[in-house]
A and B are shown apart, each in its own frame.
Chain A
Amino acid sequence: MPDLTRDQRIALYRYMRTTRLVEEKLVALYRQGKIVGGLYRCLGQEATAVGSAFALSKGDVIGPLIRNLGSVLVMGFSPRDVFAQHMGKATAPSKGKDGNLHLGRPEEGVVSAISMLGALIPVMAGIALGARMRRQPLVAMTYIGDGGTSTGPFHEGMNLAGVQKLPLVVVAENNGWAYSTPFRKQTAARSLADRATAYGIPADSVDGNDVLAVLAACRRAVARARAGEGPSLVEAVTYRMKGHAEHDNQEYVPKQELEAWIRRDPIEAYARVLQETGAATREELAAIDREISAGVERDADLADRDPFPAGERALEGVYATALRTPAEVAAVRDAP
């Protein structure tokens, strides 16, 4: 069991519960038609995102994917940021230019993913490389799913990180499904951990629904990276409890499999650990839940009342210096 203060134990719970409650609110907003585009959930995977990001220190950089709402909360994003982003509001971290979990503030250590899976691996390797050249002793952490490990960029990035012994931690979330494609159709490898072997990168495989196990494994990987011993992969074996996105009823998922994993809910499991170890009583956890819930409602309401960006802002920010002013663009466009 990792060495943690009581406050840290409670913090892990709070981040996981916040993830769950923010998502439940997002679903409600989605049904009200207030979410722009799709809604990608991480139900059942909260422990992996929170436990891994919790292993980082100030100054480290993370590159989260769409199942990593918990990671961005650990890195300091507020529920309001998350709601505003999903609603396409001007106050969102991307100012409405990008959506859903593509949350980024590189200057605060969060690199925003693109939708092409695997792409973050070489980019985060580059973060680690650039940091080493700038003599900044940071660790870069990023994520990949079972589907993403089949992409070329995953392999190219892992290989470069291995060769250069970069301070990179790759959390491979094996949640059983890539959209509708099961693990057995994704790879003939026995595990995602095996994939790392090809690049001389040590790998651990842990129960991704056990936040303390994820944290312990990621702390070991982060310590290796910080000591200059190079990259690691941590496979978190977990399960995607919902479809790929909210529109997907996951009818392709075997019922018994889903039911078995429902009994392994990571938040309920951790709540039991907190009670059994005397870190918190059931009543204390219930009070925390109520407090988080009130905050989530407040943030959702604030985001809902935030303004949308003005349409012409679409033209801004492509280049450091605008090639043409919006007026010039309009003059050319509207010329006879």
Chain B
Amino acid sequence: MTPVAAGARPSTTYVEAIREGILEEMERDERVFLLGEDIGVYGGAFKVTEGLLARFGEERVLDTPLSETAIVGAAVGAAMMGMRPVAEMQFADFFSCAFDMITNFAAKSRYRTGVAVPLVVRGPSGGGVHGGPFHSQNPEAYFAHTPGLKIVQPATAGDAKGLIKAAIRDDDPVLFFEHKFLYRRVRDVLPEGDHVVPIGTAAVRRRGRDLSILTYGAMVWTALDAAATLESEGIDAEIVDLRTLFPLDEETILESVGRTNRAIVVHEATRTGGIGAEVAAVLAERCFESLDAPVVRVTAPDTPVPFSPPLEEHFLPNAEKICRAARALTGY
């Protein structure tokens, strides 16, 4: 983990940045409202919405029953009425409880009826905190397979703010995956003014010549750690933070790999059918002649997320696993 150093101006944590983004959008647009479990009085299980009830009142910060389907279903209906709902799932693992509402109602509404459902469903994903099989998952790939949805996952505090604002303003349903490991571990000095990060744009976090590491979420920081080690060995890695998982910023991916000619895709989600498979397919289809080596994936294995610390440590990708892949690739 490599936290961003605090600058002269006060810096903001990832969790504060999400809250700030939501707050600004609620001030800007009175149609924006929040609904979810324990988000009002309690401020959310991870305190993302802390203080917003006091500021906006209980109509716009709605504590709901423990009912993910009702939460997202009601968000769909309210969006049809012209509102801009932001629904919290207490953990990203529970997005599956509302799977039909997300994939069959929200995602297909515009296509079937011409009526948009501009809503955001957000929640904490990811492991590294020993949450076990049901509080650590990265379910983004389930949803990337559903046309009609957009999917984002910020890695930095700045992107957390800029992407939540873009998600709320978007005219289509957006799933916003927050990485819970980053909530209080990374911070940024946020740009002043209306900071919006466009959906569908990746960011190059580190320029490099020898290979591209394409990743997102907490793995961006793991990849930066790996890059520091690799640099001492004379391997210069470029790191592309995908930020939006659907639609992928193919141009940035192709531009990077077109220069470095080698690619590692890294994600914390399990391997088969993951976002990495899609990135690898894009490279195979559109970048084949630039590749000097096979595209490789460094991901979690195809198992549930285990609970006990040594098991989870074994399960998660880490800097050493990325370095091994990078060495193999540069020696190919």
Binding site for B on A (CB under 8 A): 93-95, 97-98, 102, 104-107, 111-112, 114-116, 119, 121-131, 133-134, 136, 140, 152-153, 156-157, 159-160, 163, 317-321, 323, 332, 335
Nearest chain A CB to B62's CB is how many angstroms away? 8
Best-buried of A114, A126, A335 by chain B (most CB within 10 Å): A126
Any A CB within 8 A of the CB of B332: no
Cβ of B231 under 8 Å from chain A: no
Q: Please, how many angstroms separate the alpha-carbon atoms of A176 and B6 in the complex? A: 67
B contact residues around A111 at 8 Å (CB): 77, 80
Nearest-neighbour CB distance to chain A for B177, whole angstroms, equals 19
A153 contacts B116, CB within 8 Å? no
Q: Bound complex: CA of A157 vs CA of B64, how far in Å?
A: 11
B69 — which chain A residues lie within 8 A by C-beta?
A: 122, 152-153, 156-157
CB of B96, distance to nearest CB on chain A (Å): 12
Does B43 sit at the interface, judged by CB under 8 A?
no
In the complex, besides A98-B113, A119-B104, 10 extra interface pairs with C-beta distance below 8 angstroms are: A104-B113, A123-B105, A128-B77, A130-B82, A156-B68, A157-B70, A318-B111, A320-B172, A323-B200, A335-B285
Closest 10 CB pairs of A and B: A126-B77, A122-B73, A130-B81, A130-B78, A126-B74, A320-B171, A156-B70, A127-B77, A156-B67, A160-B70
List, in ascending order, chain A residues with CB within 8 A of B105's CB.
114, 119, 123
Summed over the interface, the residue pairs from A and B with CB atoms below 8 Å come to a total of: 143
Residues of chain B lying within 8 A (CB to CB) of residue A136: 81
Q: Which of B72, B74, B113, B200 contacts A112 (CB 8 A)?
A: B113
Assembly CA distance A335 to B284 (angstroms): 11
A254 to B215 Cα, complex, angstroms:
61
| B78 CB, nearest partner CB in chain A, Å | 3
Cα of A136 to Cα of B82 in the assembled complex, Å: 11
* B59 at the A interface (CB under 8 A): yes
Interface residue ranges of B60-97 to A (CB < 8 Å): 60, 64-65, 67-83, 85
Measured CA separation A133–B286 after assembly (Å): 48
Residues of B within 8 A of A127 (CB): 77-78, 80-81
**Closest partner residue, chain B, to A63 (CB atom):** B77
B316 at the A/B interface (Cβ < 8 Å)? Answer: no
Contact call A106/B80, Cβ cutoff below 8 A: yes
CA distance A126 to B172 in the complex (A): 17
Cross-chain contact of B111 among A93, A97, A153 (Cβ < 8 A) = A97
What are 9 of the A-B contact pairs (CB < 8 Å)? A102-B112, A104-B113, A105-B113, A119-B73, A126-B74, A129-B77, A134-B82, A136-B81, A323-B247
- Contact check, A159 vs B59: say whether CB atoms are below 8 A apart: no
Complex Cα distance, B104 from A239, in Å, reads: 29
> How far apart are the CA atoms of A107 and B113 in the complex, in Å?
10
State A28–B326 Cα separation when bound (angstroms).
Answer: 67
Instruction: Give A207 to B74 CA distance when docked, in angstroms.
Output: 31
Q: How far is the CA of A128 from the CA of B74 in the complex (A)?
A: 9
Q: How many angstroms from the CA of A102 to the CA of B286 in the assembled complex?
A: 39
Contacts A114-B105, A116-B100, A332-B285: A133 and B110 contacting too (C-beta < 8 A)?
no
Q: Do residues B115 and A106 form an inter-chain contact, with CB atoms below 8 A?
A: yes
Residue B52 lies at the interface, judged by CB distance under 8 Å to chain A? no
Q: How far is the CA of A121 from the CA of B170 in the complex (A)?
A: 26
Q: How far is the CA of A170 from the CA of B221 in the complex (A)?
A: 50
State in angstroms the CA–CA spacing of A157 and B69 once bound together.
Answer: 8
Is A159 in contact with B70, judged by CB distance below 8 angstroms?
A: yes
> In the bound complex, do residue A116 and residue B104 qualify as a contact, i.e. CB atoms below 8 Å apart?
yes
Is B147 positioned at the interface, with any CB of A under 8 Å from its CB? yes
Task: Give chain A residues whose Cβ lies under 8 Å from the Cβ of B150.
Answer: 319
User: Which residues of the other chain, B, contact A134 by a CB distance below 8 angstroms?
Assistant: 81-83
CB-defined contacts of A318 to chain B, threshold 8 Å: 110-111, 147-148
| B74 closest partner in A (C-beta) | A126
Q: Do A160 and B83 have beta carbons less than 8 Å apart?
A: no
The answer, yes or no, to whether B101 is at the interface (CB within 8 Å) is yes
Q: In the complex, which of the residues B64, B77, B79 has the most CB atoms of chain A within 10 Å of its own CB atom?
A: B77
**Smallest Cβ-Cβ distance to A105: which chain B residue:** B113
* In contact, A160 and B100 (Cβ under 8 angstroms): no
Measured CB to CB, the nearest residue on chain A to B248 is A323
8 Å CB contact of B77 from A123, A317, A323? A123
B77 touches A124 (CB 8 A): yes
